Structure 1
Amino acid sequence: MQQLDYDNIFDVVADNPAEAADLQFRTDLMLTLRKLLVERNWRQAEIAETLGVSQPRVSELMRGKIDLFSADKLIGLLARLDVRLRPSVDASGRVICEVVQAA
């Protein structure tokens, strides 16, 4: 039996590498957002008010409904929590992304 090896689980379900990268990026954003919200121990109604979305939308977010959220939307939700992404290129030419939370 042949074993398949993937660096990214989304390579299995995506039609191309760009789609797989988008799925991975949105997943990373969603998991980060969810972790921040869980750590704050907020009820869904509090989350909805803070993020400016409906409670059903919060439920979709917390259940990981990745297909319902664009990267832009997730970045915007993080911004409502004063979290910013700062991509840059380091001295060796590698792309890095710093995550900054306002004090």
Structure 2
Amino acid sequence: MTTKIDTEIRRVTPAGHNIFSELGFTEQEAQQLHTTSLQEIENTLQIKERLIEEITLWIVDEKMKQAEVAEMLHISRPRVSDVVNKKVNKFTIDALVNMLIRIGKPVQITVG
């Protein structure tokens, strides 16, 4: 017996709209949640950009080919291309930290 999974899209929030308003929050709550979520996204992107920049600088400094980098980082060559092209949305923070550890660049976290 196979179970069918419902994949029908019933509603899409247009870009630039506030999903929290559509979920039924009051306008004030929706705006606060929206602002908070945008700030969290920005903070995460800044962290990823800093980490990916370190990896990219290492690749340039070491003058390594992408295939060599892929082997050292235990990732595919297309993923190395994503790093070099700074496609931060394709990586989690922990994946980038693991790559830095593999190249001998330990990461220190300062909470301030």
Same fold? TM cut 0.5 = yes
Runs of 4+ with >3 A deviation: none
Question: 1:8-19, aligned counterparts within 5 Å?
Answer: 15-19=37-41
Matched, 1:28 2:44: no
Matched, 1:44 2:66: yes
| Structure 2 unaligned residues grouped into runs of 5+ | 1-35
Structure with the higher helix share, 1 or 2: 2
| Structure 1 unaligned residues grouped into runs of 5+ | 1-13, 90-94, 96-103
Where 1:34 maps in the other structure, the secondary structure is helix
Matched, 1:86 2:112: no
How far 1:88 sits from its partner (Å)? 4.2
- Cα distance per residue 1:15-67 (max 9 Å; x no partner): 52111100000001001110011100000010011101111111111111111
Matched, 1:56 2:78: yes
Q: Choose 1 or 2 for highest CA Rg.
A: 2
Where 2:107 maps in the other structure, the secondary structure is strand
Segment drifting more, 30-39 vs 15-24: 15-24
Aligned length: 77
> Which residue type is aligned with residue 60 of structure 1?
D
TM-score by length of 2: 0.64
> Which residue type is aligned with residue 54 of structure 2?
T
Where 1:56 maps in the other structure, the secondary structure is helix
TM-score by length of 1: 0.69
CA distance in 2 between counterparts of 1:88 and 1:29 reads 14
